[in-house]
Structure 1
Amino acid sequence: MTLWPCLPARCGFGGDPSLGGRPLPAGRGEEGSVPTLPRPILALPGPQATLYGELIQASLHRLEAGSRALLWVRPLLLREGSQVWKLRATPDLLWPAAGFVPAYAEEILPLLEQARDPGPHEPSARQRLQGFLRQLWQG
């Protein structure tokens, strides 16, 4: 059984989309177990695709004066037009927080049903993620 991270419903979500460097609230674990943290799903829209990822951690301090805040994100899905690709096999990202927005349950749950792994004669999930990030970085 796969457990998906916390998916906020659009109504009632009062969280700060910029996260502001605040720690995430502790979740409720089963009795006697270690509490788990809810991990919000974020979207990073690009010119031709959108990356959906699980927020692992937001940077709490800046590495040097004037640098941008970074997010540690675990890629989940990449939506390119009508195609949705699974990215679970790709490495985690450290990426500037600017541009990330909350992804809501109504948005991502239908994508989970459509998502598929790339076929043997298609670019791999890693190649698709690298191409998406290259477009964002250059644009």
Structure 2
Amino acid sequence: MTLLPCLPAQCDSVEGLRLLGRPLPASAEVGSAPPSPRPILALPGSQATLYAELIQVSRHSLEAGSDTPPLLWVRPLLLRQGSQVFNLRATSDLLWPAAGFVPAYAEEVLPLLEQARDPAPHEPSARQQLQAFLRQVWRG
């Protein structure tokens, strides 16, 4: 069993974290044993949607009175652009603001996992596609 490290002095459960009005399931708590499946979140953009596995939520952003938006540690899985689905599992984990993320459901994600493919040699790499998507989402 592999245990993932906590964010330095900032780890906690995701209890109380709401993503666009919906709370995360209790199974999203980090640090509970045995490890349970982690929730899959979607970050919709104007032309694409990122699907990522939630690893942890920054505790300091959940503290009462904090004006800092919660940061999520997520592991990118898929990027859906129109009818194409790209495999992003070889890319790096992200720390990203929770705003905009919504829970993704099995009915939505499982078919995409079957369709996911690595970018062709003439297409931008998975890392480049992820970076372009994140720039587009950051700009709003």
The alignment status of 1:41 with 2:46, answered yes or no, reads no
Counterpart AA for 2:82: G
Name the counterpart of 2:88: 87
Name the counterpart of 2:104: 103
Name the counterpart of 1:56: 55
Give structure 1 stretches of 5+ with no counterpart: 1-14, 28-33
Q: In structure 2, do the counterparts of structure 1 residues 26 and 106 end up closer, same or farther at CA, with 3 Å as the change threshold?
A: farther
Q: How far apart are the structure 2 equivalents of 1:50 and 1:35?
A: 31
The C-alpha deviation readout for 1:29-68, integer Å capped at 9, x for no partner, is xxxxx72232000000000000000000011113995221
SS of structure 2 residue aligned to 1:61: helix
Name the counterpart of 2:73: 72
Is this contact kept in 1: 2:30–2:55, CA < 8 A? Answer: no
Q: How many percent of aligned residue pairs carry the same amino acid?
A: 70
In the alignment of these two chains, the number of paired residues is 118
The alignment status of 1:132 with 2:96, answered yes or no, reads no
- TM-score, normalised with respect to structure 2: 0.75
Counterpart AA for 1:89: A
Counterpart AA for 1:82: S
Is this contact kept in 1: 2:30–2:56, CA < 8 A? Answer: no
The C-alpha deviation readout for 1:3-29, integer Å capped at 9, x for no partner, is xxxxxxxxxxxx95444xx961777xx
- TM-score, normalised with respect to structure 1: 0.76
Name the counterpart of 2:14: none
Q: How far apart are the structure 1 equivalents of 2:30 and 2:69?
A: 23
